[in-house]
Chains A and B, each alone.
Chain A
Amino acid sequence: MALITRTAGALHRRPRLRLTLLLTAPLLWLAVLYLGSLSVLFVSAFWTTNSFTSEVVKVWSTDNFHELFTVPVFRQVILRSIGVALAVTALCAVIAFPLAFYTARVAKPKWRPLLVVAILTPLWASYLVKVYAWRLILSEGGLADWMLKPFGLGGPGYGLTAAVLTLTYLWLPYMILPIHTALEQLPANLLDASADLGAKGWRTFRSVVLPMVLPSVAAGSVFTFSLSLGDYITVQIVGGKTQLIGNLVYSNIELNLPMAAALGTVPVVVIVLYLLAMRRTGALSSL
């Protein structure tokens, strides 16, 4: 008993030690699983394959990475993937902001929890179900065509646009939630103070609301960006012939594992760069 009390006391006085002991096991697990598999990926990207037998040859070379930047197809696909991720992120932000503004500040307080649940419900449905639903919507003569017909327009059909739309739908909740939280926590006093000093609604929005919510937009964008960059199923289902990094990784796994690994490191590097950029907005502290 005394020993336990003494140990507890010692731990209480040394918060760092306590934290270390507490976190060691999960951190080790994380390190082995996460970083371990990442480094296996990274190392294998430097190997090559025998082009006849498709067997991995464990000889160190940077050829794979060289190819990534020189072979036009690879370059195009990488840029296209980043472009898709950015477009999805931008669309999500533009759509999420007014929605979150409504759920957090316009709707009556008693409805707000319900609205949050409504935002979350799509996350409970199966990914594939949602994507196939969009495949139906975007199919020839589908809902999209039917709705745009009165305007003399047609749906986008399967392709890059369809992939961007579907991904936007899929990841939208991840953008709405942080913005909703930030808007809800925005002190009403600050809005009063702004109006008090002579600012009209638009001015208050630009100078007070937006800067204070921006870190949360950035936080949401970390989700939408990285989820979009890693996705390859949606594009297979609604993207027509469009290829993204994920598809190339997938198709290379059988034939050329090291090349697939090299391709696989690309999103990792891009996401790390993106995180570094977002860190400057203070987004990571609001995650």
Chain B
Amino acid sequence: MEGMAIRLQGLRKSFGETTAVAGVDLEIRDGEFFSMLGPSGSGKTTVLRMIAGFEAPSGGRIELAGQEVTGLAPFERDVHTVFQDYALFPHMTVEQNVAYGLKVRKVPKAERLVRARKALAEVRLEGFGKRRPSQLSGGQRQRVALARALVGRPRVLLLDEPLGALDLKLREQMQVELKALQREVGITFVFVTHDQEEALTMSDRIAVFHQGRIEQVGTPAEVYERPATPFVASFVGTSNLLEGESAHRIVGTPGTYSIRPEKIRVLKESAEADQPEHATAVGTVAEVVYLGDATRFLVDLDAGGRLTALQQNLETSSEDVAAYRGTRVRLQWHRRHAVAVPVPD
């Protein structure tokens, strides 16, 4: 059996009147790249801060590697944190920042230096050791924070939106590097983000947070393809729900269904369904958005409701696309891609 790096049971936290975390149960495996995904204010940071020990839970327990740590101080837990704003010590050099955790743990000076240099090399910052944090770019600071947290080889690394402050290009580059680094060092990463794409591309598993609770835990494919709640369906990927009467008429059975936009083909209204396992619906194109590599169609269905369809621009160009607005189309998808979403009562 695989070991559990973290186990949360009934974890709760209130700040006065506001309930930030309203009962979270979660198990994170050893060596996993685990993401906590959710909108702003959904309680991700608060959960992370309770795991690190900065915040005392109002209820519930926290276990790290099978040991209860609920009441322990941060310095008594084998986890390190990469803060959203990096929290580098401004009065220390990069090297001193990285070596700080080792110094605190009384690692001899010579070894400290060697390990700090090695950690800086791991994040590709050789030769920056003598600089101050203020003399680095955002991306470089981010790497220093990473090196500082990794150098002590904790069992778990907590990362609170570590890429949030970086521009898109750098963020994409760091996503790849971070993932590679995690594979290399084999440490459990708990990664907080509100960017669903980031969570989908990097994680082994994702927990989707909503209003202080977890709505779904699963692999990126599970969360994306089989959303467990309407919230997950709309937060992860583009919101595309068939509900109520129109769902009944189009799908055949009442309920709420989620269909991913890229699963829907846009055909001429006169086209016939290719195969019996295909479902179709006719409607009018309300809006066309040219995205470069693809085009997004917003279609108002005759049966009621609106669906978004995403088509690769295999042959079409931006001029053709504009002509679609206001035309009648038939949407078609494979029945198994209309996923019934349980609606909580």
Taking Cβ atoms with an 8 Å cutoff, the residues of A that contact B are 187, 189-190, 192-200, 203, 207-208, 211-212
Contacts and interface: CB of A to CB of B under 8 A. Distances in A.
Interface stretch (B12-20, B99-107, B232-240, B301-309): B99-107
Contacts, number: 59
Interface stretch (B60-68, B78-86, B206-214, B245-253): B78-86
Of the four ranges (under 10, 10 to 19, 20 to 34, 35 or more), the interface on chain B belongs to: 20 to 34
Contact of A197 (B53, B54, B101): B101
A205 B105 CA distance: 16
Interface in B86-129: 87-91, 100-101, 104-105
14 contacts: A187-B87, A192-B74, A193-B81, A193-B89, A194-B104, A196-B52, A196-B53, A196-B149, A197-B101, A197-B104, A199-B104, A200-B73, A207-B100, A212-B90
A189 B89 CA distance: 10
A203 B87 contact: no
A183 to B, nearest CB: 15
B104 A192 contact: no
A198 B104 contact: yes
A184 to B, nearest CB: 16
A200 B83 contact: no
Contacts of A192: 52, 54, 74, 81, 83, 87
Interface string B69-80: 000011100011
A225 to B, nearest CB: 23
A193 B101 CA distance: 10
Given A192-B54, A192-B81, A203-B104, A197 B87 contact: no
B283 interface: no
Contacts of B75: 195-200
Contact of B100 (A187, A189, A197, A200): A197
Nearest to B81: A196
B134 to A, nearest CB: 13
B148 interface: yes
B89 A195 contact: no
Q: Identify which of B83, B87, B90, B148 gathers the most chain A CB atoms within 10 Å of its CB.
A: B87
Contacts of A208: 89
Given A190-B89, A196-B52, 17 more contacts: A190-B87, A192-B81, A193-B81, A193-B88, A193-B89, A195-B54, A195-B73, A195-B75, A196-B54, A196-B80, A197-B149, A198-B101, A198-B105, A199-B100, A207-B100, A208-B89, A212-B90
A48 B152 CA distance: 71
Interface of B: 52-54, 73-75, 79-81, 83, 85, 87-91, 100-101, 104-105, 148-149, 152
Nearest to B83: A189
A200 B74 CA distance: 9
Give the top 8 A-B pairs by smallest Cβ distance, nearest first: A197-B101, A189-B87, A195-B74, A193-B87, A198-B104, A199-B104, A211-B91, A198-B75
Contacts of B74: 192, 195-196
B202 to A, nearest CB: 22
Contacts of B85: 189
A198 B72 CA distance: 12
Contacts of A198: 75, 101, 104-105, 152
A200 B104 CA distance: 9
Nearest to B77: A196
Nearest to B91: A211
Contacts of A196: 52-54, 74-75, 79-81, 149
A207 B97 CA distance: 11
Nearest to A210: B91
Contacts of B87: 187, 189-190, 192-193
Given A190-B89, A203-B104, A212-B91, A197 B73 contact: no
A197 B148 contact: yes
Nearest to B90: A212
Contacts of B101: 197-198
Contacts of A200: 73, 75
B88 to A, nearest CB: 8
A25 to B, nearest CB: 35
Contacts of B89: 190, 193-194, 208
B80 A197 contact: yes
A203 B100 CA distance: 11
A62 B119 CA distance: 63
Contacts of B54: 192, 195-196
A197 B152 contact: yes
A208 B96 CA distance: 12
A189 B74 CA distance: 13
A49 B75 CA distance: 71
A63 B152 CA distance: 66
B51 to A, nearest CB: 11
Contacts of A194: 89, 100, 104
Contacts of B53: 195-196
A195 B52 CA distance: 10
A187 B89 CA distance: 10
B311 to A, nearest CB: 46
A195 B72 CA distance: 12
